[in-house]
Amino acid sequence: MFNIVPAAMAENGHENGIHRHPAPAPHVVRIANPAPLGLCGFALSTFTLSCYNAGIFGISLSTPVNVAVGLAVFYGGIAQLLAGQWEFVTGNTFGATAFSSYGAFWLAWAVIQIPWFGVKAAYVASGHEDDFIQAVSIFLLAWTIFTFMMWLGTLRANIALSALFFCLTITFMFLCIGDFKRSHSWKRAGGSMGIITACIAWYIALAGILTHENSYFTLPVGSLAKR
């Protein structure tokens, strides 16, 4: 907006008697780092389900996974999906893709487990109950391929992140083989790798939480960027 001022004021630095109001300073909105939330949602859900798959505390693979379903919907699913959307705001393409995708994975996995959706019941009703396990193995195979692709995107990031996606790729692969071959041993191996994967995710999340502003120490992640 321009204001006309007396001509005398033009001599004091107001060119042509026109006074220009200085532009207001831009209001910068600081966005918190959404990555720790996404990583924690992923880690806790993965750890819980992996303990089941690994047979921790003598858990049988025939035991219902109802406890993990709640986490899959709200923490691994919705919370992680929201973290992915905020990564879009920060301009982090990798983080947005990873968190949004794995948030969707947990929601999709929960849909398969919840009887109300009738996924397994549809196979049973059609007389193809055995094909349900094969379908789940294809589901896991697809996520194995996707996770391997994401791992390739970490090779110049840091050691911790690269290790996370490498271990997650192995986890999906073992679980896929376990369902395809109906092998409890492969499922147990997949569960064990999942526990390792979850612990790495928690470590990276903690590294993002412990900053110089709020902690006396920070955690190294091992940068792979060229110097």
Query: Looking at the predicted structure, is the pLDDT value of residue 9 above 50?
Result: no
Query: Looking at the predicted structure, is the pLDDT value of residue 15 above 60?
Result: no
In a domain, 48, yes or no: yes
In a domain, 23, yes or no: no
In a domain, 217, yes or no: no
Q: Which residues are CB-contacts of 13 (< 8 A; sequence separation ≥ 6)?
A: none
pTM of the model: 0.85
Query: Looking at the predicted structure, is the pLDDT value of residue 10 above 50?
Result: no
pLDDT tens for each residue of 168-218: 999 999 999 999 999 999 999 999 999 999 999 999 999 999 999 999 999
In a domain, 225, yes or no: no
In a domain, 79, yes or no: yes
On whether the CB atoms of residues 197 and 219 are closer than 8 A, the answer is no
Q: Please tell me which residue, 190 or 224, carries the higher pLDDT value.
A: 190
In a domain, 62, yes or no: yes
- Counting runs of H as helices and runs of E as strands, what totals does the chain give? 9, 2
The boundaries of the domain holding residue 39 are 35-209
| For residues 24-46, average pLDDT | 88
Predicted pLDDT at 6: 44
Query: Looking at the predicted structure, is the pLDDT value of residue 23 above 80?
Result: no
pLDDT tens for each residue of 100-124: 999 999 999 999 999 999 998 999 8
Query: Looking at the predicted structure, is the pLDDT value of residue 34 above 60?
Result: yes
In a domain, 181, yes or no: yes
In a domain, 22, yes or no: no
On whether the CB atoms of residues 21 and 1 are closer than 8 A, the answer is yes
- Long-range pairs for 27-32: beta carbons < 8 A, 24 or more residues apart: 31/86, 31/89, 31/90
Count of domains observed in the chain: 1
